[in-house]
Each structure stands twice: as structure tokens, then as C-alpha cells.
Chain A
Amino acid sequence: MSVTEKDVRYVANLARLKLPENEVKSLANDMNKILEYMELLNEVDTSNVAPLEHVIELDSRLRTDKAEKPLDHDDALKNAPDADSDYFRVPKVIE
């Protein structure tokens, strides 16, 4: 499996990145090097192994159903790059 520049552009779109052409080239190169190293795993027989999803036994319990103070409105908007007094602002998406 080899990562082409086309693959890099495709993946960049999935990852919501817009890469300049010179970075596309160097990333294809890096990703191939790294993925080539990862091929090492192919020598392990995992045919009867279940995937490990949780490293410790999770002991989920319900918390007491008690309302707590939510994040303050001003705090929630404090770090917004653009907001009015009530909402986050984004560029228009519907013409």
C-alpha cells in the first residue's frame, strides 16, 4: 500500500485541512515511511484475537440525578473568535 499525492488530498479533505502543494508532497513521503514501518504488524497472527477497546474494566455507574449549575453563558462565549451577546457567529452558509 502506497500513499499517493491524490490520497493525501483526499485524506486532507476528510481531516478538514487545506494543504499547500509542497506539503502534499512531503506528507505523502512521510506517511509512506511511517506506514511502511507499521507493516511490521502484518507478521503478527491475530486471527483469534479480539480487539482491545478498554484497557481497564470500566465500572460505569449512574451519578445522582441532581441538576448542577451549567457553564455560565458569558464563559461559554468568552473564547469565541466571533460572537454577539447570545450566539457564536459563523460565515453565511445559505445564500
Chain B
Amino acid sequence: MTISEAREKVFSGEVKLRQIVEQYINKIESDNEEINAFVYTDFEGALAQAEEVQNRIDEGSAGKLAGVVMGIKDLICERNKPTTCASEILEGFESVYDATVIKRLKAEDAILIGRVNMDEFAMGSTNEYSKYGAVKNPNNTEMVPGGSSGGSAATVAADMATATLGSDTGGSIRQPASYCGIVGLKPTYGRVSRYGLVAFASSFDCIGPLSHNVEDAARILDVIAGFDERDNTSSHREKSDYVHAVQNPQKNIKIGVPEEFFGEGLDDEIKKSIEDILSKLEAGGAELVPIHLPHTKYGIATYYILATAEASSNLARYDGIRYGHRANKDEMVDELKLEEQALTEKVAAAVGEEKIALQKELAMMDSPLARLYKKSRTEGFGSEVKRRIMLGTYVLSAGYYDAYYGKAQKVRRLIQNDYKEAFEKVDVIVSPTAPTTAFKLGEKLDDPVQMYLNDIFTTTANLAGICGISVPAGTHSNGLPFGIQFMADAFEETKVLNAGRLVELLK
């Protein structure tokens, strides 16, 4: 059910909002056990909200999202509800305030029915790295839903909510939208406040909607976009009329077709479908402009250096002191004592240089507090998060900073320049959202590099800070959906929404 369908039903009086909420509750109760998208639900709260919003509908004072039932990715804070980022380290954590996007959704009468699964701290492309277990793709439950907003995408695809919020750091909204056959919008960096979003990589992270169609994405963006004095990276620019852009799409747009995005590694059927779509858009009045984005192939390497570096810094806050998992103190103290004893004995037995080295080691032993940090973090973080913290710490460490982090920041500028130049000639740039359709659960878990390469078409938008949308493009002969991506210059969300709408109109 789309937002306009839901609103039509409740505003015409055909059904009460309570019935819509009950319909979703039934759907979640029947399907979620298998899909594993929701990790926390608040049905009672949702039904209570429904009564309040119904009153406002009856009075004629209801907000723009009255009638809409949403799931929220488990890294956006909702007061008095758990926010765990699908990590053991935040087991039991309850937010003490609402994120700005949550305040804005509530102010427009959206009903928030629960929290949805994700890759731990949004680090992953398959939603397999979650303390709650993997999310299944509703189109075929042997397949991954994509990630990291896999729960957000699967929720919409299985129609367990009208729409969801996700976050996109390197493709985490658009790639799962592609795999699940729905719409995912990554707004421009700074378009949507991140106050209350748990930080992964601060120069990349964006909050955005996942929805059944392009208009729904526009309706949600309209509510969540705009300056927030609590987020200094949010932009003062006025938002545009996103819904109007979708309802009145221009057909004579200039679409840049970058050669670099249609080369090796791209599934043939996906390539052909996108070419077909482009021919039809051209026949409808669009102009196709061949362009070049020569630094595309450096996107993944650049992204994974910068994003892991930022993550290692952001995740330093999880120390087991103020919140989150804390290792057992008594065990830790005993362990430390034993280690100290063993080392002291070794020192006594050793001679010469070895003795000096061991003495040094003994002097450098962790204090109880330092060991508590280490044990809490080691127990609390999952394998992929630890891998990224380690990589990020490594690339920032003395002696390697210039070679990795500094270098990547420079290449990031070259990538952004590619886009700036391209957008002088075209309105939007088209590409596949992902090189393939969804793959089997477990298939890429053993090879981090293969896993990272999956983000090849999406990370550059985050590197450049621009906006992008994934819209369903078709169904593969393997039965799975795939998306087409449009990117536009910073703050030109109306252009990607417009282009996405044109694709919908072809059907």
C-alpha cells in the first residue's frame, strides 16, 4: 500500500486508521518470523497513535503523513525505544531523545510501528552481519536483501509497513532497494538532519526513505528535509517541492550515460534492460549524453579507506562506561592478575635482552580500566565491525596516514570533480544500482573484497556528496528484481525524483 492509497482510504472514511495499523500488525505477525526484518515492534503504541491521529483526521487537522505506518532502521534514535544498531555492544540501550527526523515524522502524524534490522553499525552489503541474524529477501528467502538497510528494504517489499527510513553511507539505501524491488532515495549530504543518527562515517552518512514508489519517497523527503540547528552539517538551503516534481515530471531531461558504469562485471540482462529503458526515455523526449567519470574505478578503495577511518574514530565512544555492553569486571580483574603473575614469573626466569623486553611488557600491561574498555569492545563488536575498526585505525596510524587517508581524501576530490564537470552538461547521471541481482545468503561472507565491490555503483555518490535514487528497473530471468540508479548534483533531489518517475511511467 502506497502513501497516497493509505491516505485515500483513511481520509475518505473508507477505513479507520486503526484498521490500517491492524492490517500491518497482522502482516508482521505472519511474515516477520521468516523475513526477520523487524527486531522490535510496538503494536500497542502504534494503535494508541492511530487513535490520536484518527481524531486529528476527523477534526481536519491531520499532518502530511497521517495514514502512514513506518519502520525505522535500528540506528535512528526514538525516545524510550531500543536503538541497538544490531550490535551486541548496544544490547539493552534505549534512546533518551528523538532524532530530528523522528520528531518531524511524528509531527506530521506518521505512525512508527517498530525498529528494523540492519548490518551491525550499517557496515555490510547483505544484512548478514546482525546480532539478530540475517534478513531474508521477500522475493526469494534464500537470497540476501542487500544492506546495510536490508531490514528497511525487506519491510517495504513484504508490505509490512507503508515505508521505512534507512541510512546510506556507501549505498546502504539504494542497493537493498535494488535487491528487494522497491524505491530507495539517498538525499544530498546535508539535506536531512543527522541529529540522533548513530554515526558510522560522518562525512558520508545520510538518512533517507525506502518506499513503494517515487512519490512516497518525495513525500517523506518533504517532511524530513531541511536545516536543523542541532546538526551543523545540515544545510540552510530551502528544500524544493519534491512532490510537485514527481507529479509533474519533465520528459525532456538530459541523461548522462557514463561508459565507466556499463563495463565489465555488470550482469548482461541488467545492462540490456537499462539500455531498453534509456531508449524508451529517449523516445519520450529525453536526451542521452555520453559522459565520462574517469575516476570511477577508484571509488571503492577511496571509500573504504575514508569510511573505515571515520568509523574507527566514531566507534571509539563505545567503551562500556556510559552505555552499552560492559565486560564482567570480576572476571576481567582475575584475568589481568593471572596475566601479571605469569609475566612476572617469566621475567624472573629470563636473562639479558629477553628479560628487558619482558620487563617492558610488564610495565606496559593494561590498567584495569583500559582492560575493561578492551574486553567490553572486543566482546560487543561483531567481526565485520572489528575488521573495519582495525583497518580504519591502521590507515590513520603514524606512518600510514599520508599513504592511505591523505591520498584517499585527494582522490575523493578528483571523483567529486568528475561529477561537477558532468553536471554542467546533464541533469542526471544513470547507472545500474548494483552489478547483479541479490545473491545467496552466505555466498560472499568469506571474501571482504568481493563484498565491498558490490557497492561499486553506489559509493561514488557518497564520495561526491550528491543525491541518488534507485527505482525498480525490471525482473531478471532468475526471478529477482533489480534497480536503475539516477544521480543528480547536490540539492537537486527533484531531478532524480523526476527521472525515477519517468521510469515508473514506462510500465
The residue that B367 contacts in the complex, of A11, A34, A38, A93, with Cβ under 8 A, is: A93
Per-position contact with A for B440-473: 1 when CB-CB < 8 Å, else 0? Answer: 0000000111001000000000011100000000
Binding site for B on A (CB under 8 A): 1, 3, 7-8, 11-12, 14-19, 23, 27, 30-31, 33-35, 37-38, 40-42, 44, 46, 49-56, 58-61, 63, 71-72, 75-76, 78-82, 88, 90-93
- Contact A41 B298, CB 8 Å, known A33-B449, A34-B448, A52-B409: yes
- Contact A55 B416, CB 8 Å, known A14-B397, A15-B393: yes
The answer to whether A46 and B320 have CB atoms under 8 Å apart is: no
Q: How far is the CA of A84 from the CA of B20 in the complex (A)?
A: 45
Closest A-B pairs by Cβ, 7 of them? A55-B465, A51-B409, A79-B323, A81-B326, A52-B413, A46-B410, A75-B96
The answer to whether B389 and A40 have CB atoms under 8 Å apart is: no
Residues on A with beta carbons closer than 8 Å to the beta carbon of B371 = 18
The answer to whether B403 and A56 have CB atoms under 8 Å apart is: no
Tell me how far the C-beta of B126 lies from the nearest C-beta in chain A, rounded to whole angstroms.
17
Q: How far is the CA of A78 from the CA of B320 in the complex (A)?
A: 13
The answer to whether B232 and A7 have CB atoms under 8 Å apart is: no
Interface hub of A11, A71, A92 (most chain B Cβ within 10 A) = A11
The answer to whether A37 and B301 have CB atoms under 8 Å apart is: yes
Q: How far is the CA of A60 from the CA of B190 in the complex (A)?
A: 12
State which of B64-72, B212-220, B374-382 sits at the interface with chain A: B374-382
The answer to whether B377 and A16 have CB atoms under 8 Å apart is: yes
Name the CB-closest residue of A to B233.
Answer: A58
The answer to whether B413 and A18 have CB atoms under 8 Å apart is: no
Tell me how far the C-beta of B188 lies from the nearest C-beta in chain A, rounded to whole angstroms.
7
Name the CB-closest residue of A to B312.
Answer: A15
Q: How far is the CA of A65 from the CA of B190 in the complex (A)?
A: 23
Residues on B with beta carbons closer than 8 Å to the beta carbon of A17 = 374, 377-378, 381, 386, 389-390
The answer to whether B413 and A93 have CB atoms under 8 Å apart is: no
Residues on B with beta carbons closer than 8 Å to the beta carbon of A46 = 407, 410-411, 414
The answer to whether A56 and B298 have CB atoms under 8 Å apart is: no
- Whether B404 sits at the interface, judged by CB under 8 Å, is yes
- Whether B394 sits at the interface, judged by CB under 8 Å, is yes
Tell me how far the C-beta of A35 lies from the nearest C-beta in chain B, rounded to whole angstroms.
8
The answer to whether B369 and A38 have CB atoms under 8 Å apart is: no
Name the CB-closest residue of B to A77.
Answer: B322
Name the CB-closest residue of A to B83.
Answer: A79
- Whether B235 sits at the interface, judged by CB under 8 Å, is yes
Name the CB-closest residue of A to B464.
Answer: A55
- Contact A12 B390, CB 8 Å, known A49-B410, A90-B369: yes
Residues on A with beta carbons closer than 8 Å to the beta carbon of B233 = 56, 58
- Whether B94 sits at the interface, judged by CB under 8 Å, is yes
- Whether B343 sits at the interface, judged by CB under 8 Å, is no
The answer to whether B326 and A52 have CB atoms under 8 Å apart is: no
